[in-house]
């Protein structure tokens, strides 16, 4: 899709492989970071999680993190050298989140700081994947406004889900577990995913217009947005456990939203895609 936005035919080369492996191992690395950072807290308040109950050893999680990091470095140095500086910048940021940017006490004392510094993680992975794709082929294509729309389209729904899964009704809050609803209140926190969904949907519509997708795409996205808005507004109006289906709604919306865009792009450009 990045190459289609740039007006060139899709190319399958070493950068395609690098992008696929980078996406998987970067997300795996971030997952291991979370498990390592929260191991003591999880042991106290989430005893059923694999590491907490001893089903997975924390040493194995460390090993998986090291292997993931090494694979990421080797893959990008070997298969995607043209975009290596973007990769290095993103990895420095990711490693910074693991060490709380060397201000762990501040992050623990002020959860809002952790919220601000860690939430751009989805943006960072999409950003590096876009640049890996831009570097494929004979030329390193420039990052354009429509690539920014692509970044917002795919990164913001993931960020919205990250926020939604940490929104609780007051009676669901757990002591010592920092949630967005504890920081901002359930109503204030619930507004954030809604805003992110609206921005993402708007960005995708700009992309759809640029890519000349069928007009029914706009109708479907508007319908999805209406449904997810109803679920969030319903909780905002009365933040009780029975109405807190935000995490599940976010998962379903994000999956449908991504799938719909990819299907419409494939239908519109199937000859160029299959011909690559």
Q: Examine the domain organization and report whether 72 and 86 are in the same domain.
A: yes
Q: Examine the domain organization and report whether 121 and 179 are in the same domain.
A: no
CATH of residue 22:
1.10.357
pLDDT for res 123: 93
CB 135 within 8 A of CB 147: no
Angle 23-132-158 from CA coordinates, rounded to 5°: 40
Q: Rg of the chain over CA atoms, in angstroms?
A: 20
Q: Examine the domain organization and report whether 89 and 164 are in the same domain.
A: no
Q: Examine the domain organization and report whether 51 and 156 are in the same domain.
A: no
How many C-alpha atoms does 144 have within 13 Å on its Cβ side? Answer: 14
Q: Examine the domain organization and report whether 130 and 231 are in the same domain.
A: no
Q: Examine the domain organization and report whether 200 and 68 are in the same domain.
A: no
Choose one of 118, 142, 166: the last residue of a domain: 142
Q: Residue 97: name the closest of 114, 83, 80 by CA.
A: 114
CB 257 within 8 A of CB 224: yes
Q: Examine the domain organization and report whether 78 and 205 are in the same domain.
A: no
Q: Residue 256: name the closest of 234, 236, 212, 226 by CA.
A: 226
Task: Give the structural domain span for 126.
Answer: 1-142
How many C-alpha atoms does 203 have within 13 Å on its Cβ side? Answer: 21
Question: Around Cβ 145, how many Cβ atoms within 10 Å?
Answer: 10
Q: Examine the domain organization and report whether 175 and 133 are in the same domain.
A: no
Per-residue pLDDT tens digits for 177-230: 778 898 899 999 999 999 999 999 999 999 999 999 999 999 999 999 999 999
Strand positions, DSSP E, 71-201 = none
CATH of residue 160:
1.20.120
Choose one of 80, 109, 142: the last residue of a domain: 142
Q: Examine the domain organization and report whether 3 and 138 are in the same domain.
A: yes
Angle 53-55-59 from CA coordinates, rounded to 5°: 100
pLDDT for res 8: 82
**CB neighbours of 114 closer than 8 A, spacing ≥ 6?**
100, 107, 108, 178
Domain total of the chain: 2
Choose one of 142, 176, 204: the last residue of a domain: 142
CB 94 within 8 A of CB 30: yes
Residue reference for tokens 């895609």: 273
pLDDT for res 188: 94
Question: For each of the chain's 276 residues, which pLDDT tens digit applies?
Answer: 888 888 887 888 999 999 999 999 999 999 998 888 778 777 877 788 888 888 888 899 999 999 999 999 999 999 999 999 999 999 999 988 877 666 666 666 666 777 778 788 899 999 999 999 999 987 888 899 999 999 999 999 999 999 999 999 999 988 877 788 988 999 999 999 999 999 999 999 999 999 999 999 999 999 999 999 999 999 999 999 999 999 999 999 999 999 999 999 999 998 888 875
Q: Examine the domain organization and report whether 105 and 154 are in the same domain.
A: no
pLDDT for res 101: 65
Q: Examine the domain organization and report whether 86 and 133 are in the same domain.
A: yes
List phi, psi (to 5°) of 228: -70, -35
Q: Examine the domain organization and report whether 48 and 175 are in the same domain.
A: no
Output DSSP code: residue 243: G
What is d(CA 133, CA 140) in angstroms, rounded to the nearest whole number?
Answer: 9
Q: Crossing angle of helices 246-275/216-237, nearest 10°?
A: 160
């Amino acid at each position: 899709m990045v190459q289609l936005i740039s007006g060139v035919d899709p190319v399958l080369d070493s950068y395609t492989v690098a992008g696929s492996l980078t996406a998987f191992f970067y997300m795996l690395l971030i997952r291991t970071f979370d498990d390592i950072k929260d191991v003591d807290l999880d042991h106290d308040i989430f005893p059923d999680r694999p590491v907490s109950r001893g089903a997975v050893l924390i040493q194995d999680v460390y090993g998986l993190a090291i292997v993931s990091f090494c694979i990421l470095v080797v893959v990008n140095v070997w298969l995607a050298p043209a975009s290596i500086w973007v990769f290095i910048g993103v990895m420095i940021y990711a490693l910074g989140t693991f060490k709380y940017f060397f201000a762990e006490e501040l992050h623990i004392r002020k959860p809002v700081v952790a919220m601000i510094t860690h939430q751009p993680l989805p943006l960072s992975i999409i950003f590096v994947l876009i640049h890996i794709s831009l570097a494929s082929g004979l030329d390193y294509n420039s990052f354009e406004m429509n690539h920014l729309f692509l970044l917002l389209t795919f990164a913001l729904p993931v960020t919205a889900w990250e926020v939604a899964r940490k929104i609780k009704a007051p009676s669901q809050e757990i002591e010592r577990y920092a949630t967005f609803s504890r920081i901002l209140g359930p109503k204030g926190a619930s507004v954030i995913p809604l805003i992110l969904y609206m921005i993402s949907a708007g960005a995708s519509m700009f992309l759809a217009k640029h890519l000349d997708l069928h007009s029914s795409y706009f109708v479907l996205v508007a319908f999805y947005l209406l449904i997810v808005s109803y679920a969030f507004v319903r909780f905002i109006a009365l933040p009780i456990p029975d109405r807190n289906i935000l995490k599940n709604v976010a998962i379903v919306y994000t999956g449908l939203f991504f799938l719909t865009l990819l299907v419409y792009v494939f239908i519109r450009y199937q000859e160029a895609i299959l011909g690559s």
